[in-house]
Structure 1
Amino acid sequence: MDKGREKEAFVTIKIKTTIANKYRIFCKHNGVSQSMCLLQMIQFFEFNGLAPTDHLGDSFAKLEGKINKRTNAIIAIIKDIEKSQTLPTVAMLQSLFDQQIKQESNDFEEDFEFVERKFANDQNQKEFDMETTVPRIRYERLEDKMNSVKSDFEYVLDKVKPVKSNFGKDYLKLELTIEELVKFRRILKNT
């Protein structure tokens, strides 16, 4: 039954047999009742301001041309944004990070100019230990990476199933989809 129209009565319309058969096949193909299919057709024509006798070939070609022009304009705008806005920002951020890493590496080299250090008391030892510790942000990032690698590895291990063979040795079967395998390879390549 059609939703919201369960209590409406049926009315007959005189249609030629060949056209009625073609219409029934069309309705089955679209998966709707004959009443709803006719209603949708009428709404389509009313909404678009068309008549069944209108020729749509030229208007669709014009519409496609307009869409192509709009698409090309959008692509040009996005490329301009990438060149003028995003790349300079990325370059500035990258230079800041590179400068920070260079400063840290210079500081690191300055701290270890001498291979052996003799400490007169524990205070100097504690100061030296404080200088050589890993920054907290870097430690947390490494910890996050380690946790993600662990979870991925656990997932892969869960997908390993032992298979008993009637002929020959038993073996292990890895039940991963191709998409999952590609994802893990990409992750390993990027790290």
Structure 2
Amino acid sequence: MGTKSFSNIRFKKDTARRFQSFSRMYYKTHTLALAGMLDFFKYNEISPHENLGKRMGLIMDFLQKFRDFTAKRNNATIAVIKDLEKHGIMPTKAMMELLFEGGPTSSSQKSGDIPKTELIIPEIQGMDLDTEFALLEERKRRQLLEQELVQLKTLIDEQLLNRVKVIRPALGAPRLQLEMTLSEWQAFEQHFKTP
């Protein structure tokens, strides 16, 4: 430690004990502890005489709500991108307008700016927004029906087709036998009964 010089500072004994226990808990040396504390107050522009009690709670609540909000928005964006990748859907004019909503408008452009070009997609060029949104809703309904169909196929496969056995009697033609109790059959029948 030859080149570093030390200085003595006088503290009251109880304050010195508090500082030493704090220093041992978080830092290797007392010098690092004091430097860290001073840097904290300097960089965060906080006075050591301020009480952050309720304000700190409000800040933490805000940060938590902001984190939740951004996580939901990120999840929604990821879901849209995955859906586009999965179904190969070209973005419509309505989708693009919604995506860039709140961006600069033509009235805010200066004369030196590049002129705004309109997005042209051949298959929907003549459609209005209501038609485009109706198509989006129809696409959602179709996807829900496809999911429901997959679930029904799985249910039929598990509950019905996997329980059918071929019986080959000694005399006569082979026949099919459903290995299911009467209560299971009634529950299955009730599930598929149309109202």
Please indicate, yes or no, whether the TM-score normalized by the shorter chain is above 0.5.
no
More helix by share: 1
TM score, norm. by length of structure 1:
0.42
TM score, norm. by length of structure 2:
0.41
